[in-house]
Amino acid sequence: MTRNPDETRARLLGAAFEEIHRHGFQGASLTGILARAEVTKGAMYHHFASKQELGYAVVDEVLKARLEAAFFVPLSERENFIDGLLHTMAKSMEERGAMLADLGCPLNNLAQEMSPVDEGFRVRVDRLFGWWRDGLAEGLRRAIALGQVRGDIDPEGVALFYLAALEGCIGLAKNARSVEMHARCLGVLAEYVNGLRA
């Protein structure tokens, strides 16, 4: 058996991400994570000090990378900011719509479950939400300067509201197990976003 510590670590992170996404952090058992990763307990405790530290690493590494791929990258694929924003919504809908309606947003799931329970999770998730929000607000500010977006709006407030609405749509759709509800909710959000154009 050839060894590959980096791959072992990556497999643990991937398996932990999926188990946590499905069962929540508290509901995810170490045994389940290890089985999915096909890694033994000894290996896992060699790479991570505890289940908690493994969870933290999932936020810092896996969730961060996913957020970048799902938001920042597609956003930059359009010249116009509003077009870019609508593009991120459409793309995530077609690429991960079923998954989102089924299991919800991994980041927000963790936020809702862990923020009252574990400060370490709360801070880490808050960092990612802050990054996301700042990206939105900054984009809005630039778009206002470029005359793409109305100048009478508060960029920070709208960024916050957009994020809230987006996560809310995913959350409701997840509870209803309905991609159709997800699409419908995003449709109204898209109207709101279009209403921001100058």
Partner DNA sequence: AACAATACAGACCGGTCGGTATGTTTGAGA
Partner DNA sequence: TCTCAAACATACCGACCGGTCTGTATTGTT
Which window, 1-9, 51-59, 69-77, 182-190, contacts a copy of itself (CB under 8 A)?
Answer: 182-190
- Residue 162 Cβ, how far from a copy of itself at the closest point, in Å? 9
Q: Which position among 60, 61, 102, 138 is part of the footprint of a copy of itself (CB under 8 A)? A: 102
Q: Does residue 101 contact residue 173 with C-beta atoms inside 8 Å?
A: yes
Touching DNA, residues 46-65 (CB under 7 A): 46-47, 50-52
- Residue 53 Cβ, how far from DNA at the closest point, in Å? 8
Mark residues 146-175: x for contact with a copy of itself by CB under 8 A, - for none.
Answer: --------x-xxx-xx-xxxxxxx-xx-xx
Q: Does residue 140 contact residue 159 with C-beta atoms inside 8 Å?
A: yes
Q: Which position among 66, 112, 131, 150 is part of the footprint of a copy of itself (CB under 8 A)? A: 112
d(CA 144, CA 142): 5
Q: Which of a copy of itself, DNA, none interacts with 72 (beta carbon under 5 to 8 A by kind)?
A: none
Query: Phi/psi of residue 197, each to 5°?
Result: -60, 145
Instruction: Give Cβ neighbours of residue 10 (< 8 Å, ≥ 6 apart).
Output: none
Q: Residues touching DNA: how many (CB under 7 A)?
A: 23
- With vertex at residue 86, the alpha carbon angle to CA 197 and CA 83, rounded to the nearest 5 degrees, is 55
Report residue 128 as tokens. Answer: 């990612």
188 touches a copy of itself (CB under 8 A): yes
H helices of the chain, in order, are 5-23, 30-37, 41-47, 51-57, 64-67, 73-75, 81-103, 106-114, 119-145, 155-176, 179-194
Q: Which of a copy of itself, DNA, none interacts with 112 (beta carbon under 5 to 8 A by kind)?
A: a copy of itself
Q: Which position among 26, 50, 76, 194 is part of the footprint of a copy of itself (CB under 8 A)? A: 26
